[in-house]
Amino acid sequence: MWLVCCMGSSTRDEILNKVLDHLICPRDQNELSGFKCPKCGTKYSEARGFFKFLPEMIDKGKIQEKKRYDMLGSARCLDDLDPHGGLYRRRILLNEARVLAVIRAAHIENGQLILDVGCGGGAPTISLMKKKQAHVVGIDLSDGALDFIQIRAQKERLRERLLLFQADAENMPFEAGLFDRIISFSSLEHVPHPSRFIEECVRVCRPMGYVSACTPNKTADVLRRLKPGIVKVAGLTSKKRMRRGGTVEGLPESPYHKEFTDKDLRLLFEKSGLVNVSTTFLIYLPTGIPHPLGTLMSMRSVAHLESFLSKVPFFKNFSSLVVVSGRKPE
Please write the tens of the pLDDT for every residue from 94-103: 888 899 999 9
**What string of DSSP letters covers 173-190?**
SB-TT-EEEEEEES-GGG
What pLDDT score does 60 carry? 72
Backbone torsions φ then ψ of 214, nearest 5 degrees: -110, 125
Give the three-state DSSP class for 56. Answer: coil
| C-alpha–C-alpha distance, residues 295 and 328, integer Å | 42
Edge-to-edge strand ranges of the sheet holding 50-52: 45-47, 50-52, 162-166, 135-140, 113-117, 179-185, 205-216, 321-327, 275-282
Q: Which residues contact 3 (CB under 8 A, 6 or more apart)?
A: 16, 46, 49, 163
Q: Over range 257-266, report the average pLDDT.
A: 90
Helix (H) or strand (E) holding 194, with range, is: helix 194-204
β-strand partners of 31: 24
**Which of the two residues, 320 and 82, has the higher pLDDT score?**
320
Q: What are the structural domains, with CATH classification, of the chain? A: 50-327 (3.40.50.150)
* Total Cβ atoms within 10 A of residue 264: 17
Q: What is the model's pTM?
A: 0.85
* Total Cβ atoms within 10 A of residue 276: 11
Q: Which residues contact 213 (CB under 8 A, 6 or more apart)?
A: 183, 184, 185, 187, 188, 198, 201, 265, 323, 324, 325
- The alpha carbon of residue 309 and the mean position of all alpha carbons in its chain are separated, in whole angstroms, by 25
Contact 309, 281 (CB under 8 A): no
| C-alpha–C-alpha distance, residues 116 and 133, integer Å | 15
pLDDT category at 248 given cuts 50, 70, 90 is: very low
- Summarised one tens digit per residue, pLDDT across range 109-148 is 999 999 999 998 888 999 999 999 999 999 999 888 898 8
Beta strands 50-52; 45-47: pairing state: antiparallel
Reference 240, options 291, 286, 289, 287; nearest CA is 291
